[in-house]
Amino acid sequence: MIKTEALQVELIQVEQIIEARWVVPVDPKNSLYEFYAVVMNHQLIVDVLPTLQARMKYQANEVVVLDDHVLIPGLINAHTHAAMTVMRGIADDQPLMVWLNEHIWPAERAIVTERYVEDASLLACAEMLAGGTTCFNDMYFYPQATATAATKAGIRAHLGLTVLEFPTNYAVDADDYLLKGFEAHDSWRGNNLISSMLAPHAPYTISNQTFEKVLTYAEQLGLGIHTHLHETRDEISQSEVTYGVRPIQRLATLGMLGPGFVAAHGVHLLPHEIDMLAEYGSHIAHCPASNLKLGSGIAPIDALLKNHVNVCIGTDGAASNNRLDMFSEMRLAALLSKGVSEDASVLPAYDALKMATINAANAIGLDTKIGSIDIGKQADLVAVKLSDFSISPCYDPVSHLVYSCGREHVTHTWVAGALRYSNGTYANIEPVELKEIIQTWQPKLRQYKH
């Protein structure tokens, strides 16, 4: 009789394996994997493979088993103002310019300080992590304070170096805004969670001269540009009176459009302007809830997508939304596109998920790091439980994510491989601290409600 010895296979040691019922990698093939595992080591995704194969190939310090969950890339909020979260609800039911001129800007002049921004941003980070958002593209004053809050929370932040012409508590003129922005930008070099782009507020608050400076600095430093654009009809009319052209044409003439240009809103775009965005490879950050709540209108998303413009999704600030909830934004974006086009096949669920993940990563220049579940990318991941009776049964997990699930179904949020939120508990944030932030700032803001 011939004896044979069993082959001993040495397992590869890794830090963590997540075994999920479903994995949605967000790839060009619109893949959905069942009974799959994601293997993580040193902040990175090192493998994506069937669970049984993972058990035969790897040995992990920790294995997380999610039998009732779908694992997706971390959601990316492509346009927000995190520090406005404490202003949630102070001036509801007002059109944009009334909302800004009579409520928001006076409130900001009265209370916005570096301490305020850090506190309010931490509250926003907590809300976003609990809702599966792992990265946000921000535009606000004191970006260093937002960076401090984001780093504490463990969330990824792409921070705008905000530029305005008029004085605020933060800076006195455009040059001062730029100087302070660059100082902040230099301070977080080496921080894996923080990146940035230049953020001139909007064509109606920025001069041609300042736009030209912004463009020069963007080219020299390799930074993108993030601004509000064509949010309201009044903005466009004002530009036609002042400059003789619509805002997008003005920016195109100045050389601002390009693959590093992210335009928030893009509600009122003519067909040739959509062609222009496509030609320059620029991006639209679609904010459906904010646009509806401020009465700004509905962006032509179907036309943008048909013309191959990269569209991502943002919440805008909680003061105009009033939630930092990417699940509700995905659902609303899909439903609005179907309703406006009168075509139920427009913006299917997988495409809506792409807008909230890889499309946003592409817009902010982080698509090689985040936005999909790919080997070599940062392990920014979110687990969503699909077995709750209120959303059962489930036939298509991707469709379920967009049309049935809410942020309350998020159970785990990982950023760069670290678990930052799990079943109501934060890794680095104490609920009592959030309560103190609200109690500190709400009384100071109450007077600006009316």
Q: What is the CATH number of the domain that holds 116?
A: 3.20.20.140
pTM for this model (two decimals): 0.97
Residue 107 located in a structural domain: yes
Residue 308 located in a structural domain: yes
Q: Is residue 196 scored above 60 in pLDDT?
A: yes
Residue 227 located in a structural domain: yes
Identity of the amino acid at 374: D
Task: Report how far residue 168's alpha carbon sits from residue 22's, in angstroms, rounded to the nearest whole number.
Answer: 49
183 and 114: one domain?
yes
276 and 390: one domain?
no
- pLDDT class of 8 with cuts at 50, 70, 90: low
Residue 445 located in a structural domain: no
Q: Is residue 121 scored above 70 in pLDDT?
A: yes
Q: Which of 154, 156, 160 is nearest to 141 (CA)?
A: 160
Tens digits of residue pLDDT in 270-294: 999 999 999 999 999 999 999 999 9
Partnered with residue 72 across adjacent β-strands are: 382
Residue 25: give the domain boundaries: 12-73+381-415
Task: Report how far residue 338's alpha carbon sits from residue 341's, in angstroms, rounded to the nearest whole number.
Answer: 5
**Domain of residue 28, CATH code:** 2.30.40.10
Residue 350 located in a structural domain: yes
What integer pLDDT is reported at residue 7 of this predicted model? 52
DSSP letters spanning 356-407? TTHHHHHHTT-TTTSSS--TTSB--EEEEE---GGG---S-HHHHHHHT--G
Residue 246 located in a structural domain: yes
Provide the edge-to-edge strand list for the sheet that holds 310-313: 75-80, 133-140, 156-163, 194-200, 225-229, 261-265, 283-286, 310-313
65 and 83: one domain?
no
Single out the residue in 300, 330, 363 at which a domain terminates: 363
27 and 145: one domain?
no
Q: Is 162 exposed, middle or buried (0-12, 13-18, 19+ CB in 10 A)?
A: buried
Q: How many CB atoms lie within 10 A of CB 52?
A: 12
Which is more confident, 8 or 149?
A: 149
29 and 130: one domain?
no
* Residue length of the chain: 450
Crossing angle of the two packed helices 208-221 and 174-187, in degrees rounded to 10: 20
Tens digits of residue pLDDT in 127-161: 999 999 999 999 999 999 999 999 999 999 999 99
Residue 443 located in a structural domain: no
Overall domain count for the chain: 2
388 and 297: one domain?
no
Task: Report how far residue 291's alpha carbon sits from residue 320's, in angstroms, rounded to the nearest whole number.
Answer: 9
- Structure-token match 């926003």, residue found: 124
Residue 213 located in a structural domain: yes
Q: Helix, strand, or coil here: 296?
A: coil
Average pLDDT over residues 158-165: 98
Both structure tokens of 304: 């943008």
Both structure tokens of 173: 């003129």
263 and 146: one domain?
yes
What integer pLDDT is reported at residue 5 of this predicted model? 46
Average pLDDT over residues 46-75: 98
In angstroms, the Cα distances linking 16 to 45, 143, 199, 418 are 10, 33, 37, 10
What integer pLDDT is reported at residue 2 of this predicted model? 42
Identity of the amino acid at 153: A
Average pLDDT over residues 408-428: 98
What integer pLDDT is reported at residue 450 of this predicted model? 61
What integer pLDDT is reported at residue 393 of this predicted model? 96
127 and 190: one domain?
yes
Q: Is residue 4 scored above 50 in pLDDT?
A: no
Task: Report how far residue 380's alpha carbon sits from residue 416's, in angstroms, rounded to the nearest whole number.
Answer: 5
Average pLDDT over residues 187-210: 97
96 and 177: one domain?
yes
- Structure-token match 């699930």, residue found: 405
Tens digits of residue pLDDT in 217-254: 999 999 999 999 999 999 999 999 999 999 999 999 99
Average pLDDT over residues 384-406: 97
Asked if 407 contacts 77 with a C-beta cutoff of 8 angstroms, the reply is no
Average pLDDT over residues 212-217: 98
97 and 207: one domain?
yes
Provide the mean pLDDT of the chain. 96
321 and 179: one domain?
yes
68 and 190: one domain?
no
First to last CA, the chain: 93
